[in-house]
Chains A and B, each alone.
Chain A
């Protein structure tokens, strides 16, 4: 069955770079898009960006200058890198296949 699992550091210092990995199973990255969505504590959902089956990417215009999404199809992994983190980047970060199936989320706190 389709599964996604996010992994990464729970704590990141301000101004540093966040690196998250989404490991997937049950589907092919070359046939499906994978997106990153985040949710600050007590707030709504924000689409961050995605990588399509052909490897092209799209980003939220508000995050585009800080965000990079890539993948390794041989390892069934999708990567998120976001630089210049601030405290308001504290959130649960989800990866999702086609905005249908979702991972459980990874909690990231930005604090010194």
Chain B
């Protein structure tokens, strides 16, 4: 099974900061990766699909990149409403979530 490792597990940043969340796969996943945002008490929301495609309705400050085993979610200017836990998810071989990065405002 493919393992997905997210780092950091907790990230504290200031409003307006550029933040980067990382996701590393245990083997090549051929860009078959989504990013989800989950706010407290809510269902996950799809932000990015197939590495770098912005889901409809998601603000353009969110972007994704990566290839092979290493992937990144970037928020260009952190907003208060971005406080959430972010999960990566691979669907190249089986289906596996990462363990999540909790994003807080400093």
Contacts and interface: CB of A to CB of B under 8 A. Distances in A.
Given A61-B1, A99-B34, A99-B91, A44 B97 contact: yes
Interface string B11-32: 0000000000000000000000
Given A94-B43, A105-B43, A44 B87 contact: yes
Contact of B95 (A44, A50, A102, A103): A50
B99 A44 contact: yes
A94 B97 CA distance: 14
Nearest to A45: B97
A100 interface: yes
A104 interface: yes
A94 B44 CA distance: 9
Size range of the chain A interface in the assembly: 10 to 19
Interface in A48-81: 50, 58, 60-61
Given A94-B43, A100-B46, A105-B43, A47 B99 contact: no
B100 interface: yes
B43 to A, nearest CB: 4
B71 interface: no
A103 B43 CA distance: 7
Contacts, number: 42
Contact of B100 (A44, A61, A99, A100): A44
A1 to B, nearest CB: 12
Nearest to B49: A100
B89 interface: yes
Contacts of A105: 43
**Which 9 A-B pairs give the minimum distances between C-beta atoms?**
A102-B43, A45-B97, A47-B95, A44-B100, A44-B99, A100-B46, A45-B87, A105-B43, A94-B43
Given A58-B94, A103-B43, A105-B43, 10 more contacts: A45-B89, A45-B97, A46-B97, A47-B89, A47-B97, A58-B95, A100-B46, A100-B55, A102-B43, A104-B43
